[in-house]
Amino acid sequence: MYEFIEGEYVEKSPAHLIVQTGHVAYYINISLFTYSQISSQSAGKIYLHFVVREDAQIFYGFSGREEREIFRMLISVSGVGANTARLILSSLSPEEITQAILAGNVSLLQGIKGIGAKSAQRIIIDLKDKVGKGVGIDELFFSRDNTSREEALSALVALGFSKKTVEKILTRILSEQPELSVEKVVKAALKFM
């Protein structure tokens, strides 16, 4: 519903941000990660996630799309609410969360206050396949120094294949034939999928 808000940061704290745009100011809940990204700025763009509950309408804000995507994945897990997801993003960066999920690092997630062993395992099981697909695709497509490997990786991930699986296959193909063009790398990888 709401994509982002751009305006002056009237008030900042590690837990919330008040953004004034026009003659209206919005109270936005943020993570410590977002706060660290915007702490030196007096104005800017914040990506939003809007939650409507019976008793409240709440904005959650993020310094970038990747963090918002991780937040949305986390709240899709049974037992993980918006405040728990924000706590996870305050304890770990989006990259650290992604790596913990892909590596199955239960102890790292369990080290976050309020996350027990079962919750950590559920997060890893539910998100392991999702994390490799959507996060960071923009960076793969728009990277300035794209190599054939990165272009092939972004193409295959965009087609819906797991990033982790694709990386293994590309490593095998390019170790045997490093001179292949992007098109040939993608075609070869599709044979292994």
Q: What is the pLDDT of residues 95-153, one digit of tens each?
A: 999 999 998 999 999 988 889 999 999 999 999 888 865 544 444 333 333 467 887 88
Domain containing residue 100: CATH number: 1.10.150.20
Question: 105, exposed or middle or buried, with CB in 10 Å at 0-12, 13-18, 19+?
Answer: middle
Cα dist from 16 to 30, 74, 136, whole Å: 5, 20, 25
Question: What's the number of domains the chain is made of?
Answer: 3
In a domain, 122, yes or no: yes
Q: Which domain does 53 fall in, by range?
A: 4-62
Whether residue 68 is contained in a domain is answered as: no
Residue 171, domain CATH: 1.10.8.10
Residue 67 domain flag: no
Q: Are residues 56 and 80 both part of a single domain?
A: no
The CATH number of residue 26's host domain is: 2.40.50.140
DSSP code for 63: S
- Does 79 lie in the same domain as 123? yes
Q: How far apart are CA 10 and CA 130, in angstroms?
A: 36
Identify whether residues 143 and 163 lie together within a single domain.
Answer: yes
- Domain check: are 78 and 126 in the same one? yes
The pLDDT tens digits for 29-66 are 999 999 999 999 999 999 999 999 999 999 999 999 99
In a domain, 69, yes or no: no
pTM of the model: 0.68
Same-domain status, 150 and 184: yes
Q: How far apart are CA 56 and CA 91, in angstroms?
A: 25
Task: Note whether 57 and 79 are same-domain residues.
Answer: no
